[in-house]
Amino acid sequence: MTTTPTAQTEPRTALVTGASSGIGEAIARELAAAGCTVAVHGRDEQRTRAVAEDIERQGGRAVALTADLSQGPDVVRALAIEARTQLGGHVDVLVNNAGVYPGGPTESLDDDTVDALLATNIRAPHVLVATLAPGMAERGSGHIVNIGSWMARVGVPFMALYPATKAAVEQLTRAWAAEYGHRGIRVVTVAPGATATPGNADSADVLTAMTKGTPAGTPVQPVDIARTVRWVVSDQAAFVTGGTIDVDGGIASTRLS
């Protein structure tokens, strides 16, 4: 006999942060294709609106929301409230994808850069969950997907703080799954590997070299992450919560030479 932990309901609304390009855009498009009305968030109004409008042209439902998540908790909280309003009063899926990833020697990171990393990568997801999870819990169903990174468990020179923020995200996932699980909310980290996005297009040769020795042999594509997120928030993943799913071509767990 097959059992499920709780009565599941396929999600119908989603907020995806950092969705004006790259991984976030791919996630927004996949969730829209799965039937969700998607709040597409970005910092650039024109790019964000273009993604939402294209989703609608292709038969999906989307709204565009702009906010700079590094600008303080009130800005993040206002984004969550606006998303909830625009999505008909409830958010079924929250995808914490927005992130910044400056690198360089530890001593070269200035205070403003450090503040932006901590505010965008850790504080913003925390504020969004604090604002939206109670509503999910009240309805008895919800999905929180945190986008992590393969770097969270690997020491990489000249890239100390960004992976540390992603390690924090993995811990938040574990804690939130424990905190909200009995109220019908599943929480999962999806951790991309070296991914080819518009934001790192100028580093294509570096990505190729990084992934050549992996089992996959090539960089991850944003759609690979998006399809995993789509599955995670579906009823097919009813028992998946509290952990990290690596979508990285094996870069974090294997060595071929």
Q: Find the mean pLDDT for residues 137-164.
A: 95
**Is pLDDT above 80 for 1?**
no
**Is pLDDT above 80 for 176?**
yes
pLDDT at residue 201, rounded to an integer: 79
> What distance in Å separates the CA atoms of residue 237 and residue 226, rounded to the nearest whole number?
15
**Is pLDDT above 90 for 206?**
no
CB atoms within 10 A of CB 155: 8
Residues in the chain: 257
**Is pLDDT above 60 for 5?**
no
Q: Find the mean pLDDT for residues 187-206.
A: 89
pLDDT at residue 9, rounded to an integer: 61
Q: Find the mean pLDDT for residues 136-157.
A: 96
The DSSP letter of residue 195 is B
CA angle 145, 149, 152 (to 5 degrees): 115
- The upper half-sphere exposure of residue 216, i.e. CA atoms within 13 Å in the direction of its Cβ, equals 22
pLDDT at residue 203, rounded to an integer: 82
Q: Find the mean pLDDT for residues 51-74.
A: 98
| Average pLDDT, rounded, for the chain | 94
Q: Find the mean pLDDT for residues 141-147.
A: 98
DSSP collapsed to 3 states, 140-178: CCEEEEEECCHHHHCCCCCCCHHHHHHHHHHHHHHHHHH
pLDDT at residue 60, rounded to an integer: 98
What's phi and psi for 39, nearest 5 deg? -90, 110
Q: Find the mean pLDDT for residues 137-155.
A: 96
Domains of the chain (ranges plus CATH)?
13-246 (3.40.50.720)
**pLDDT tens-place string over residues 65-120:** 999 999 999 999 999 999 999 999 999 999 999 999 998 999 999 999 999 999 99
pLDDT at residue 6, rounded to an integer: 46
CA dist 241 → 74, 167, 177 (Å): 29, 17, 6
Percent of the residues in the chain that have a pLDDT greater than 90, as a whole number: 86
Instruction: Give the burial string for 190-221 (b: 16+ CB within 10 Å, else e).
Output: bbbbbbbbeeeeeeeeebeeebeebebeebbb
pTM: 0.94
Identify which has the larger pLDDT, 8 or 53: 53
Element (H, E) at 66: strand 61-66
Active-site residues, by number, are 162
Quickly list DSSP for 36-59.
Answer: -EEEEEES-HHHHHHHHHHHHHTT
Split at pLDDT 50, 70, 90, the class of 198 is confident
**Is pLDDT above 90 for 64?**
yes
Strands laid side by side in the 93-96 sheet = 61-66, 37-42, 13-16, 93-96, 142-147, 185-192, 244-247
